[in-house]
């Protein structure tokens, strides 16, 4: 049962920040409520004040710029991203990822910012955002901060957000030429959370076609989505082949530390990583060649 709380609905970002500062130790922010309400119903979270930011239209936008890339307001819904015509030129992976996240009903209400701040290790957006080298803007009455998506998630459901702080924007830089990014997740029930999620990005040299940069990011394989850096090294500076991607998958499967849980055993997750890294890597490579 949900414990009683006081509901507050600020009309502006400034008003919200003042409330966050005022109720510093006893509030919880709610955006779409798709994750938070489950925790509240289970009695795992029981705030005295619920500060509803969903109505702050100033945090609901998608902007695209050739120089600066993509900027997505924290309150933009999954569905808006999935359907946005701006998800092209290297960003189509975001729309594809959103298409497989939950059901349409959940995507219509849940926000990208809420998903990121929830810190769920099996969430879909974070691996993709790390692969795309995204950064996050936060704000509090103390000022603004900017940090890499990669550094934001600290542990199971724990992020670098400080009390009094709101996530305002997700920034994704333009992809360098000849870059391709792809994502997939393995899940038993369609639109369910990932048993394992894999995002791969590769950047090829425009001259010799060798791999100049790569990111291999694994979701649901530990407390936070994480890069498989040894596997990335296998690709760097080489001609990417099917065999090389299989080697990268093998290395990634040894690098991660998944735990056995209700969705799969540790061994099964390692096997999934091995196969999916090679498979998603092929897709990223094909995209990089066309980009
Ligand atoms: C049936 C179902 C299936 C799902 N399947 C998937 C799935 O397949 N893949 C997946 O990735 N997710 C899935 N989810 C999770 C869900 O879609 C997202 O986590 C959700 O969209 C979170 O966004 P929200 O706006 O609802 O956040 P809320 O639930 O409102 O908030 C989540 C957390 O973030 C904090 N928060 C929210 N916004 C901000 C902000 N701007 N600044 C600071 N803190 C903030 C809240 O305080 C809370 O701690 C599923 C959820 C449901 C109910």
The pLDDT tens digits of the residues spanning 141-168 come to 999 999 999 999 999 999 999 999 999 9
pLDDT score recorded for residue 216: 98
Q: Please state, in angstroms and rounded to a whole number, the distance separating the CA atoms of residues 70 and 64.
A: 5
Residues in the chain where the model's pLDDT stays below 70 = none
From the CA of 37, give the closest atom in ligand 1. Answer: 29
Which residues approach ligand 1 with their CB closer than 6 A?
28-36, 74, 78, 101-102, 106, 110-111, 113-115, 117-118, 123-124, 161, 166-167, 191-193
Look-up of token digits 């091995």: 274
pLDDT score recorded for residue 212: 98
pLDDT score recorded for residue 29: 98
Residue 29 has phi, psi (to 5 degrees) of -85, 140
Atom 10 of ligand 1 has which residue's CA nearest to it? 123
Tokens of 13: 């970002």
Q: Do the beta carbons of residue 285 and residue 182 sit within 8 Å? A: no
pLDDT score recorded for residue 229: 98
From the CA of 110, give the closest atom in ligand 1. Answer: 21
Atom 41 of ligand 1 has which residue's CA nearest to it? 167
Other residues' Cβ atoms within 10 Å of the Cβ of residue 33: 16
pLDDT score recorded for residue 150: 97
State the chain's mean pLDDT as an integer.
96
Element (H, E) at 270: helix 266-290
Write down the pTM of the prediction: 0.97
pLDDT score recorded for residue 89: 80
From the CA of 78, give the closest atom in ligand 1. Answer: 21
Q: Please state, in angstroms and rounded to a whole number, the distance separating the CA atoms of residues 104 and 54.
A: 18
Ligand 1 centroid – CA 277 distance (Å): 26
Atom 47 of ligand 1 has which residue's CA nearest to it? 29
Ligand 1 centroid – CA 251 distance (Å): 32
pLDDT score recorded for residue 53: 98
pLDDT score recorded for residue 41: 95
Ligand 1 centroid – CA 37 distance (Å): 9
Q: Please state, in angstroms and rounded to a whole number, the distance separating the CA atoms of residues 42 and 266.
A: 27
What does DSSP assign to residue 4? Answer: P
Ligand 1 centroid – CA 120 distance (Å): 9
């Amino acid at each position: 049962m949900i414990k009683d709380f006081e509901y507050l609905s600020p009309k502006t970002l400034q008003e919200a920040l003042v409330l966050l500062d005022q109720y510093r130790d006893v509030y919880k922010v709610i955006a779409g409520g798709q994750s938070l309400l489950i925790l509240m119903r289970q009695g795992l979270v029981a705030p005295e004040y619920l500060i509803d930011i969903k109505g702050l239209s100033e945090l609901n936008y998608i902007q695209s710029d050739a120089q600066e890339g993509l900027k997505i307001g924290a309150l933009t819904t999954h569905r808006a991203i999935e359907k946005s015509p701006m998800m092209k030129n290297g960003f189509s992976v975001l729309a594809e990822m959103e298409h497989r996240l939950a059901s349409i009903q959940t995507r219509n209400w849940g926000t990208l910012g809420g998903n990121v701040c929830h810190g769920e290790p099996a969430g879909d957006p974070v691996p993709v955002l790390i692969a795309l080298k995204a950064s996050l803007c936060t704000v509090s009455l103390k000022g603004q901060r900017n940090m890499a998506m990669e550094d934001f998630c600290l542990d199971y459901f724990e992020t670098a957000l400080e009390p009094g702080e709101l996530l305002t924007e997700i920034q994704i830089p333009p992809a360098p030429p000849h870059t391709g990014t792809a994502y997939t997740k393995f899940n038993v029930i369609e639109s369910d959370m990932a048993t394992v999620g894999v995002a791969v990005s590769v950047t090829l040299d425009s001259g010799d076609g060798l791999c100049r940069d790569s990111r291999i990011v694994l979701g649901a394989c530990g407390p936070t989505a994480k890069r498989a850096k040894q596997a990335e090294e296998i690709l760097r500076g080489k001609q990417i082949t099917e065999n090389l991607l299989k080697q990268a998958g093998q290395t990634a499967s040894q690098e991660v530390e998944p735990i056995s849980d209700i969705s799969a055993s540790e061994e099964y997750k390692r096997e999934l990583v091995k196969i999916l890294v090679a498979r998603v890597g092929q897709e990223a490579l094909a995209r990089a060649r066309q980009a």
